Amino acid sequence: FRGGAELLFDGVKKHQVTLPCQPEPWDIRNLLKWIKENLLKERPELFMQGESVRPGILVLINDADWELMGELDYKLQDQDNVVFISTLHGG
């Protein structure tokens, strides 16, 4: 979590997680639900909108824009690095 997004997660920038086993492969959609339930500490409306991230949150999967990877439908692989960067700034 970067660009201020880490403030919603107790200021912790890096989380190494092991996702629980489930019948279907994990995708970003399910990862976001898991993050909301297990990591997000405050103001979920600043991170999520519906089942996706809020506009202004850049998502990178292994340093590539998630739009190139299938966004919410991207199937996570072991050791994937997912980064959320807030581009929203107060003024």
Question: Which conformational region is residue 7 in: left (phi greater than 0), alpha (psi within -120 to 50 degrees), or beta?
Answer: alpha
The per-residue pLDDT for range 40-82, each reduced to its tens digit, is 998 999 899 999 999 999 999 999 999 999 999 999 999 999 9
Q: pTM value?
A: 0.88
Q: Residue 32 in contact with residue 39, Cβ under 8 Å?
A: no
pLDDT band at 90 (very low <50, low <70, confident <90, very high): low
CATH class of the region 5-86: alpha beta
pLDDT at residue 85, rounded to an integer: 93
Domain boundaries, the chain: 5-86
